[in-house]
């Protein structure tokens, strides 16, 4: 997450052109969601979602205020939050089927 934060704030960083900006946000936050659940399996998924949303929003707020060649884009925020929500929802559904199957 520190690396993504640095790259998101570094005005000289240019992401690979083969992966557009929104896809980068979707990919990053989908991976973050999987990693968060793996790192803290007992943490409620809702809490993971709130932390990831805060991180996505924090990046955009910092970009908005820093004025060094980076601009906030709230669609980036929505792409990241949407990807995290999609992954966490999938994990929640998977967990509910596993619990139901063990009964």
Give the list of residues 6+ apart from residue 49 with CB closer than 8 angstroms, or none. Answer: 33, 84, 85, 88
Please tell me the distance from the alpha carbon of residue 64 to that of residue 50, in angstroms, as a whole number. Answer: 21
**Does 46 reside within a domain?**
yes
pLDDT in tens, 24-82: 889 999 999 999 999 999 999 999 999 999 999 998 898 888 776 677 889 999 999 99
Q: Pick the closest to residue 69 from 5, 12, 6 (CA basis).
A: 12
What is the span of the domain harbouring residue 73? 21-98
More confident residue, 100 or 77: 77
- In this structure, is residue 29 part of a structural domain? yes
Residue burial 70-81, b: 16+ Cβ < 10 Å; e: rest = beeeeebbebbb
Residue 103 has pLDDT above 70, yes or no: no
Indicate if the pLDDT at residue 6 is higher than 60: yes
Number of domains in the chain: 1
Q: What local confidence, expressed as pLDDT, does residue 7 receive?
A: 63
In a domain, 93, yes or no: yes
Does 14 reside within a domain? Answer: no
């Amino acid at each position: 997450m520190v690396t993504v934060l640095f790259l998101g704030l570094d005005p000289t960083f240019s992401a690979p052109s083969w992966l557009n900006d929104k896809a980068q946000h979707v990919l990053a936050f989908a991976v973050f969601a999987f990693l968060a659940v793996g790192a803290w399996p007992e943490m409620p998924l809702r809490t993971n979602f709130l932390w990831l949303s805060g991180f996505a929003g924090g990046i955009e707020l910092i970009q908005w205020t820093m004025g060094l060649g980076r601009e906030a884009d709230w669609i980036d925020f929505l792409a990241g939050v949407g990807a995290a929500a999609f992954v966490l929802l999938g994990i929640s559904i998977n967990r509910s089927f596993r619990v139901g199957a063990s009964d």
